Amino acid sequence: MQILSTNIAKPTTILWRGKQVQTGIYKTPTNQPIYLGTQDVKGDIVSDRKVHGGEYKACYIFSSNHYAYWQNLYPNLDWEYGMLGENLTVSDLDETQVFIGDIYKVGDALVQVTQPREPCYKFGVKFGTQNVLKQFIEHGYPGTYLRVLEEGFVEKGDEFVLIEKAENSLTVHQFFNLLYTKTKDQKLTRTNIKLSAIFIPVFAITISLAAIDWLMSIEPHWFSTIFGVYYFSGTVIAAIAAVTIATVYLKEHGYLHSRMTNDHLFSLGALQFAFINFWGYIAFSQYLLIWYADLPEETFWILQRWEGGWAIMSLLLIVIHFLVPYIALVSQPSKMNPRRLKFISVWLLFAHLFDLYWLVMPQMPGLADGFVFSWIDLVFPVAAVGFIIIIFNMKAKKENLIPIGDPKLKRGLDFHL
């Protein structure tokens, strides 16, 4: 692939459904080098950053090989490079051979293929008809967006040199076809709704029994009426944290829908914050019930955790499992910040492990007066997480991670704060 033209746009106002809208789709050749930045092309107008620009859509390239096809359909338009809205018009871009995740060196920049272009109404306005959107989809050669790993200038004549081939990935053409596949069976969605309704009571009962039989029974003389709820709240926090880590990672590496923005992460951040508060409420309620009732059958359990080295662990539990994540996620922007969410999700997984250690280990022989850490304490958690990652990786290679055909997909993608 070789750059044939570098193209940028100036702000252009169009009329759409009676409203004036600004767009950057009217790109024209510059005949000079352009600078690829990590968020956009320097000097190029990006009017709507919810769907254009940003880390994974910093630059758009399109193949000159397909210009003849479009000129044949729309011969009355004024044709020049940049007509498809691309920053770089390149020769011999083959979407059936270029893979999502491929890394190229071009000019002074290092770029990575991220996702195909999805046409919007502004594309239709430029071509004089919204029918062009359907034609663009049916043609199946959409060009691709690039992520800029190393910023730099590029110019006409620069070659794309393959640096690293993506493994176990989809081609741009395959990805595009998955986005617009016509076989959208909604049977799985309906099945999942039914199964989730059945699973809710099953989960509530089984997790309560597990908490009582596997944890509370370690000390057979102690009981708590809300111990099952306490364990449930901590488990849900850990589950949401694990899902958040996976979601942010997949989003950052271009495996999820191209229209997914940081706004969509808000629900995960809000759920984490809600259950952090719920866990704190239940934990304090359990302590308050033991303190208020002052029954010997209950007080000895909590007193043991407020003596010797366990007193330090008890204080740390409050800080690690409640105060730090509460403060970290209390603001709305923090609930949508990918870096903050990744950090606090890892923190919460550690906090849950810390909580389990606090629940279990004081009853172990020889540890009544204080705690002792050993590498063996981490073996099972690491093995369990590793096993789940391996299974997920094996399944993800065979399935589309975007639920094409799900009736809730469009509504979800349209969400914004």
> Quick one: 45 and 157 in the same domain?
yes
Which one of 153, 179, 205 terminates a domain? 179
Question: What's 13's domain CATH number?
Answer: 2.40.33.20
Report CA 216 to chain centroid distance, whole Å. Answer: 36
Confidence at residue 370, expressed as pLDDT on a 0 to 100 scale: 67
> Quick one: 147 and 278 in the same domain?
no
Report the range of poorest mean pLDDT among 50-64, 129-143, 332-346, 361-375. 361-375
> Quick one: 305 and 212 in the same domain?
yes
Domain span holding position 263 = 187-413
> Quick one: 154 and 211 in the same domain?
no
Confidence at residue 353, expressed as pLDDT on a 0 to 100 scale: 92
Q: Is 80 exceeded by the pLDDT of residue 34?
A: yes
Of all residues in the chain, what percent carry a pLDDT higher than 70? 94
Confidence at residue 181, expressed as pLDDT on a 0 to 100 scale: 65
Confidence at residue 258, expressed as pLDDT on a 0 to 100 scale: 66
Report the range of poorest mean pLDDT among 25-39, 204-218, 362-376. 362-376
Which one of 179, 204, 223 terminates a domain? 179
As a whole number of angstroms, the distance between CA 140 and CA 135 comes to 9
Q: How confident is the model at residue 331 (pLDDT cuts 50, 70, 90)?
A: very high
pTM score: 0.61
40-64 tens-digit pLDDT: 888 887 777 676 778 888 899 999 9
> Quick one: 156 and 260 in the same domain?
no
> Quick one: 162 and 214 in the same domain?
no
Q: How confident is the model at residue 182 (pLDDT cuts 50, 70, 90)?
A: low
Our count of domains for the chain comes to: 2
Which one of 126, 151, 179 terminates a domain? 179
> Quick one: 119 and 227 in the same domain?
no
